[in-house]
Amino acid sequence: MTTAGRKRTVPPPGSPSTPAAGVMAPDVVRPRAHRPRAATVERREKILQAAMETFGARGYHNGSLAEVAERVGMTQAGVLHHFGSKDLLLLEVLEYRDRSDVEHLEGRRPPGGLGLFRHLVKTARINAGRPGIVQTYAVLSAEAVTDDHPGQDWFRARFSTLRQTVSDALIEVCDADDLPDPADVDAAAASVLAVMDGLQIQWLLARDVVDLGRSTALAIEAILSAVVAGRERRRLL
């Protein structure tokens, strides 16, 4: 979505332009600024929770800004004041969902090694209970490949970070004396993410046929087995 012909983007997680939670800019450290700053953060949090409920229940197309606004007692203009557009709000919801997935984890970040893959499978099982959020992610990630989509940079950065995280975890579970070819590790990392996203689409279209958690576990285990086998593994393809 564009405004005055320019693309609007959401900074990816960890971007230098995104302040860390609880960190205030130097020009707002005066005591007088604390109250509105806290109120703004709280209001945004409520909007995100309302949006997550709305889009989670109704999906991307049917979840409206009007309903989100009604849930928090605001106008649509008030919601847009905080998030700019429906697309940008949806991206923030996805990031909010990602944060909620790791809130219970040590350091609020996914574990490494085998623990990461167990976490991914657990996430797939949790996602089976929130089809609206899964649909929102599937729609936005697919649309992000189109020209001038506001979420394109966000998704590109997200996938880059996730591929590196999965690659590091794969190396951890391998025998240090028989590490696989780096190209195979990179391919395996991309495959893990592709399997998760692809199965979500199949599941959205046939929930009574595709077992999201079971299928995800089987596919990731197969990829792990191939990588852990090392350089001397027997190749079938």
Over residues 62-84, the pLDDT tens digits come to 889 999 999 999 999 999 999 99
Q: In the prediction, which pLDDT does 53 show?
A: 86
CA distance 199 to 215: 8
8 Å CB contact between 123 and 173: no
Least confidently predicted of 14-28, 33-47, 167-181, 206-220 = 14-28
3-state helix, strand, coil in the chain (%, to 5): 70, 0, 30
Secondary structure element (H or E) that encloses residue 54, with its range: helix 31-62
Q: What is the mean pLDDT of the chain?
A: 83
Secondary structure element (H or E) that encloses residue 154, with its range: helix 152-173
> Would you state the structure tokens that stand for residue 86, as one six-digit string?
């429906």
The answer on pLDDT for 94 being more than 90 is no
Distance of CA 155 to the CA centre of its chain: 8
Q: For residues 198-220, give the mean pLDDT.
A: 97
User: What's 108's DSSP letter?
Assistant: G
CA distance 206 to 198: 13
**What three-state secondary structure class fits 3?**
strand
CA distance 141 to 163: 16
- Which pTM value belongs to this model? 0.74
Q: In the prediction, which pLDDT does 114 show?
A: 95
H helical segments located in 63-106: 65-71, 76-83, 86-102
User: What's 107's DSSP letter?
Assistant: G
Q: In the prediction, which pLDDT does 128 show?
A: 94
Task: Compare 165 and 30 and report the one with higher pLDDT.
Answer: 165
